[in-house]
Amino acid sequence: MHVSVHVIRRAVVLASLSLIVFVAACTAQPKAAAVPPPMRRNVVIFVADGLRHDSVNAVDAPTLFALRQRGVHFVNSHSLFPTLTTPNASAIATGHYLGDTGDFSNTEYVGHPTFNHGDFGKTAGSPTPFLENDEVLGDVTAHASVPSGVPAAAHAADGNFLNEVSLLALAREHGFNTAAIGKLGPAALQDITQLQPVGGRFAVPQTVILDDSTGSAGGIPLSPAVRGALIAAGLGDAPTARSQPSGTVSTPGTLTANVGQQKWFADAATKAVLPAFVSSGAPFALLFWSRDPDGTQHNQGDSLNKLQPGINGPTSRAAVANADANLKQLLDYLDSDPALRASTDVFVTSDHGFATISKHEIDSAGHVSHSYAATFRYLGADGKPEVLPGWLPLGFLAIDLAHGLGLPLFDPDTQIRGDGAARYQPVDPMKPPAAASRQRPALGNGLIGGTGVVQDHVDAEVIVTTSGGADLIYIPGKDRAVARRIVEFLSRQDYVGGLFVDPAFGAIPGALPLAAVALDGAARLPRPAIVVSFKSFLLAPGDLLSAVQVSDTALQEGQGVHGNLGRDNTFNNMAAIGPDFKQGFVDPLPMGNADIAPTLAHVLGLELPSTGRLRGRVLSEALVGGPDSAPFRRDTAVSTQTPAGVATVLQYQEMQGRRYFDAACFVALNRERRSRGQLCVDAEAASRPH
């Protein structure tokens, strides 16, 4: 195996002298920096999207399992809430909590219809875009870089809507080769400045970015040298297409993992990108984002409309094995060169945990939701049911809230054009679907109130965006009375698992402030007024793998989801190995995704600059020479009660001024529960380190 890897490396280098240009394009001129370590380090961050801590075992994930034993095993790790991909990608990139990065959800209100400046040759679209798209990220960062009222042409934009410097950008500016490879969206977020449009289109980035869109018209372009290296390695200039049908209410989803696409990315890393980096003699920082197990767990077909086996069936286990195989390929490459292995630190994480979807049940006893939205039949364009009778449709929160407020609902993701004008499509669950009306929002997002006219600043009174286990609610007019009405309404809904409100609206019974979960910071993008965590429960007490989560999604009951504040979602998989990390060390201290960038910057001898105050910490206890333990505390925050005696409860840990969120629940308080300290029973039991 050692010989074959070296042969591949030598063949790639000899195949194209332009690899020298490739390396130069990946490297900016170094700035004055802190004194580096005696041997310059390389770092690899491996993200297994949606990998649950407890699904790692010696059979399904032997590489991940062995890495835990040989290196540092973080047994008290945390995802950030909302437990979604792009928010946690922003934390992994920058080392900041979401209140600073402004990446609050996979889908959020960005303050303008996307592409309303005409970038990428597109017409104005949704103000509530899905962020796992390079062109959307480019559009959002272009807008966030331009102060209000200042024409783009008159402003020297910095091209960073996250408002914080990322680890890859910092390393690139200090002479490192940098690359982000893998899943569309979170990969490019690792160096978001490289997506700033130039003349309305992408320029060739200095950081190598390879994702699902590579080689396509809407993708981030490749330099000739990068393209040549990929072709010389026999990979072509575009990844293998992903083919994983999600199924319908009557047909199961995929029964295979995302093997082909991810193998292309692993080959690109080990046969083209890393060989060029090593040949250059400069250090490197590389992030590899494996779409599995997330992509397969979302779409798996093992459990159509059933809570069991849910995401614990054979297809989901194959997805865990697929991610494990990608990691093994990267580690094998590093191991093939003793000097390379001796100078490279590897940090493994997952952006969030996972749970099985419920679109009907709200607890382990089988009680069902009585949502207003669940009382209608939802038909597709073919006249067939899209949702089982009595079950929750995609967009149920927007439908319920519009009904509760007595206001019209519009779909921000579907426009009606006519007479030279455009309007957002009206939504009415009581009417059969027609050309001019939908029964539910196409992607679950909703504009409530207003006229439904497409314009730069929407006139809706309330905006809802959905991303599965958590929805965001915006109140553009900053009306405190509206915020109180919404919280009071939501406090009576049986699917709510926690409510968090912007402190600008004052204290509201039933809700904790956004600051309780670090969502109130220096962000550039609009901050949600209210964040809703949906209810979750365990089918088997104490077993996080049995978790079920109510979800605002187009996927089916029995498939997989994430987003809420259950310990099943916050308990991700994290481990590290390399010359700067302890060997065979079990770390019991609370830590999370925001701690990765500060720790690796420290290892590289760099210092991350900071705009906001919501920063992660250096994981000193995991590093060689660091203390094995340090003080931290567990605590519980409880909101004031609603008139019905219901409150949001947040269980968390705190260390060095940082909060690590275990779980939240929305419960009726009583004297017995308070006296016994049992507020979120399942979450409390499961939050203890394994």
Please determine, for residue 690, whether its predicted confidence score (pLDDT) is greater than 70. Answer: no
CB-CB contact of 665 with 645 (8 Å): no
In a domain, 517, yes or no: no
In a domain, 363, yes or no: no
Please determine, for residue 9, whether its predicted confidence score (pLDDT) is greater than 60. Answer: no
Token pair, residue 460, equals 């809706």
CB-CB contact of 56 with 68 (8 Å): yes
**Could you tell me the pLDDT band of residue 159, with boundaries at 50, 70 and 90?**
confident
User: Taken in order 547, 548, 550, 554, is the CA torsion positive or negative?
Assistant: positive
pLDDT (0 to 100) of residue 669: 84
| 438 conformational bin, left if phi > 0, alpha if psi -120 to 50, beta if neither | beta
Q: Report phi then psi at 640, rounded to 5.
A: -65, 155
The number of distinct structural domains making up the chain is 1
Please determine, for residue 39, whether its predicted confidence score (pLDDT) is greater than 90. Answer: no
Measured CA distances, 219 to 134, 185, 195, 418 (Å): 7, 11, 10, 31
Return the residue matching tokens 């086996």. Answer: 309
**Could you tell me the pLDDT band of residue 145, with boundaries at 50, 70 and 90?**
low
Name beta bridge partners: 536: 549
In a domain, 174, yes or no: yes
In a domain, 670, yes or no: no
Q: In angstroms, rounded to a whole number, what is the distance separating the alpha carbons of residues 119 and 6?
A: 43
Tell me the CATH number at 338: 3.40.720.10
Please determine, for residue 58, whether its predicted confidence score (pLDDT) is greater than 50. Answer: yes
**Could you tell me the pLDDT band of residue 4, with boundaries at 50, 70 and 90?**
very low
Using one digit for the tens of pLDDT, what is the confidence trace for 519-555? 999 999 999 999 999 999 999 999 999 999 999 999 9
* Mean pLDDT score across all residues of the chain: 91
Q: Report phi then psi at 296, rounded to 5.
A: -75, -40
Please determine, for residue 146, whether its predicted confidence score (pLDDT) is greater than 70. Answer: no
What is the percent of the chain with per-residue pLDDT over 90, rounded to a whole number? Answer: 84
Best mean pLDDT range from 51-65, 112-126, 407-421 = 51-65
Q: Report phi then psi at 336, rounded to 5.
A: -70, -15
Measured CA distances, 538 to 249, 365, 567 (Å): 24, 10, 10
Please determine, for residue 597, whether its predicted confidence score (pLDDT) is greater than 70. Answer: yes
In a domain, 541, yes or no: no
**Could you tell me the pLDDT band of residue 574, with boundaries at 50, 70 and 90?**
very high
Q: Give, in degrees to the nearest 5, the angle at Cα 175 between 171 and 177.
A: 70
pLDDT (mean) for 418-436: 86
Please determine, for residue 461, whether its predicted confidence score (pLDDT) is greater than 90. Answer: yes
pLDDT (mean) for 634-660: 96
Burial (CB < 10 A; 0-12, 13-18, 19+), residue 498, is: buried
Residue 107 is classified by DSSP as: B
pTM for this model (two decimals): 0.93
**Could you tell me the pLDDT band of residue 436, with boundaries at 50, 70 and 90?**
confident
**Least trusted range by pLDDT, from 85-94, 158-167, 672-681:** 672-681
Please determine, for residue 29, whether its predicted confidence score (pLDDT) is greater than 80. Answer: no
Residues in the chain: 690
Give the Cβ contact number of residue 250 at 10 Å. 12
**Least trusted range by pLDDT, from 179-193, 409-423, 563-577, 583-597:** 409-423
pLDDT (0 to 100) of residue 96: 98
In a domain, 145, yes or no: no
CB-CB contact of 314 with 293 (8 Å): no
Per-residue DSSP letters for 213-262?
TTTSTTSPPPPHHHHHHHHHTT-TTSPPPP------SSS--B-S-SHHHH
- The rounded Cα 425 to chain-centroid distance in angstroms is 28
In a domain, 612, yes or no: no
Using one digit for the tens of pLDDT, what is the confidence trace for 174-195? 999 999 999 999 999 999 999 9
Q: In angstroms, rounded to a whole number, what is the distance separating the alpha carbons of residues 94 and 597?
A: 6
In a domain, 285, yes or no: yes
pLDDT (mean) for 489-515: 98
pLDDT (mean) for 41-51: 98
Name beta bridge partners: 250: none
Containing structural domain, residue 19: 2-97+163-357+569-607
Q: In angstroms, rounded to a whole number, what is the distance separating the alpha carbons of residues 629 and 152?
A: 50
Using one digit for the tens of pLDDT, what is the confidence trace for 651-687? 999 999 999 999 999 999 875 455 444 568 544 344 4
Q: In angstroms, rounded to a whole number, what is the distance separating the alpha carbons of residues 164 and 369?
A: 41
